[in-house]
Amino acid sequence: MKSNILKRVGVIKTIMAIILFTTTLTSCSSDDDSIPNLGNLQVQLELATGLSDISLEGIDVSITNTVDNATLNLSTDATGSVTFTNISVGTYNIVVSNATDDYQLSGTANNISVAIQETTTTNLEVNATNFNAGLVIKEVYSAGSGYITLFKDSFIEIFNNSSETLYADGMFIANIFGGSGASGDTAVYSILTDSDYVYTDVMSQIPGSGTDYPVASGQSIVIALNAINFKEGSTNPDGELDNTDATLEHYSIDWLEAQGLAGNAFFELDNPSVPNMTNTYMFEGTNFFRLSLPASVVLVSSEASFDDSNIVDYTAIGSTTTYKLMKISVDLVVDGVDILDNSASLEFKRIPSTIDAGFSFLTEDGAISYTGLSNRRKIDETATARFGRTILLDTNNSTVDFEAINFPDKYGYSN
């Protein structure tokens, strides 16, 4: 009897042990199931080296699960931080993209792992691109520096406002026709009323096949009328220019003579060491590449093309002279600066406001011949500090962007 009781007790203990073990397993399984398969991802934005004065608050941050492509979006707090809570574990790609009126912020990070019930923190570097980036006209010098030199030392300088190397190959430089506001002048748009165009009497093209004329970030190319050292033989060398460092020069004599026209060896002096611009248009009454005094200039896209259908007649009221001008669509103009006679010359604008909302000038009285005065684009101090490299003002308003300086600043501002 006693033996049977013990056997029963043993069986009961065994059953209880099995029940306890099963319960424990069930309990453990239940505890595991109660932990959500979720985690957190904190993204801390940091400005790339060289950037400053850029707020990281309110920046759009997007994360995408690399398995199911589910995407979530949040904006950063005042510290540039954002936390995505209770998201599925796995790997994520992060994209930052935010635009202001002045610049575009961007950054990416890929395959960031999020573990269960953990907060993953990743620092993401963001860069900024300023919207006013590209090739801009940095300086226009046409006043001339002296009696002997006259206007032979004229030049136009093109500056790269972007953060990457750009190529000037194929772009056009055009002198814009029209009275500048001096006594007796006629406003060009009082005769040619279609302001969808600018009108040139002299235009040339930068040669090259696409990569021959690179312009590095913060650097310039200079296109001179004559790539000559005018300091040599001068009694005032400090007041003259040495243009032998020009990237390109104008030389029209051979081109004109090939058309049965006469060139002007007095104003055009070929430097065989400096490549020549490609002549594309010159009104027959002109026998050398010249800039107006003062000169309004546009830089035109390499995508432009011109033929006789673009030529229009211009005859001022009361005049017997008809100019044949090449019209250029404003849609093809990359940059332009309107330089007029004086501060009261608004009605004589030669470039529509869609390209240049204002205009620049050299002196109030318009007396600029042989003064050595030049029109130079100003530095954008805010953008320069923000992006850590020289950036020039480009508000499409020459009244704001340009200033008169006492002597040319060729290759000035170069980083």
Question: What are the tens digits of pLDDT across the range 332-371?
Answer: 999 999 999 999 999 999 999 999 999 999 999 999 999 9
Q: What percent of the chain has pLDDT over 90?
A: 79
CA–CA gap between residue 305 and residue 286 (Å, rounded): 22
Residue, of 2 and 63, whose pLDDT is higher: 63
Would you state the pLDDT for residue 188?
Answer: 97
38-130: CATH topology is Immunoglobulin-like (2.60.40)
Would you state the pLDDT for residue 347?
Answer: 95
| Among the listed residues 228, 179, 226, the one whose alpha carbon sits nearest the alpha carbon of residue 201 | 179
User: Residue 29 pLDDT > 70, yes or no?
Assistant: no
**Which tokens go with 247?**
């990237």
Type and span of the H or E element at 4: helix 2-33
Would you state the pLDDT for residue 6?
Answer: 42
The residue whose two tokens read 């006789």 is 308
User: Residue 14 pLDDT > 50, yes or no?
Assistant: no
The residue whose two tokens read 């090449």 is 326
Would you state the pLDDT for residue 101?
Answer: 81
Would you state the pLDDT for residue 415?
Answer: 57
Of the pLDDT bands very low, low, confident and very high (cuts 50, 70, 90), residue 2 is: very low
Of the pLDDT bands very low, low, confident and very high (cuts 50, 70, 90), residue 18 is: very low
Q: What is the mean pLDDT of residues 216-237?
A: 94
Of the pLDDT bands very low, low, confident and very high (cuts 50, 70, 90), residue 5 is: very low
Mean per-residue pLDDT over the chain, rounded? 90
User: Residue 412 pLDDT > 70, yes or no?
Assistant: yes
Which string of DSSP letters, residue by residue, matches 161-196?
-SSS-EE-TT-EEEEEPS--SSTT---GGGTS--TT
Which string of DSSP letters, residue by residue, matches 98-113?
EE-SSEEEEEEEEEEE
Q: What is the mean pLDDT of residues 35-43?
A: 94
Would you state the pLDDT for residue 148?
Answer: 79
Of the pLDDT bands very low, low, confident and very high (cuts 50, 70, 90), residue 99 is: confident
User: Residue 47 pLDDT > 80, yes or no?
Assistant: yes
Question: How does DSSP classify residue 359?
Answer: -
Residue, of 14 and 185, whose pLDDT is higher: 185
Q: What is the mean pLDDT of residues 230-234?
A: 91
Would you state the pLDDT for residue 280?
Answer: 96
Q: Judging by DSSP bridges, how do beta strands 166-167 and 278-282 pair with one another?
A: unpaired
Q: What is the mean pLDDT of residues 47-55?
A: 90
Which string of DSSP letters, residue by residue, matches 27-59?
HHHHHHHTS-SEEEEEEEEEEPTT--S---TT-
User: Residue 23 pLDDT > 80, yes or no?
Assistant: no
Q: What are 265-310's pLDDT values in tens digits?
A: 999 999 999 999 999 999 987 888 889 999 999 999 999 999 999 9
User: Residue 10 pLDDT > 80, yes or no?
Assistant: no
Domain boundaries, the chain: 38-130, 135-405
Q: CB neighbours (10 Å) of residue 342?
A: 18
Q: What is the mean pLDDT of residues 245-269?
A: 94
Would you state the pLDDT for residue 235?
Answer: 87
Burial of 145 (0-12, 13-18, 19+ CB in 10 A): buried
Q: What are 124-174's pLDDT values in tens digits?
A: 999 888 877 899 999 999 999 876 789 999 999 999 999 999 999 999 999
Q: What percent of the chain has pLDDT over 70?
A: 91
User: Residue 108 pLDDT > 50, yes or no?
Assistant: yes
Of the pLDDT bands very low, low, confident and very high (cuts 50, 70, 90), residue 50 is: confident
Expressed in percent and rounded to 5, the helix, strand and coil fractions of the chain are 15, 35, 50
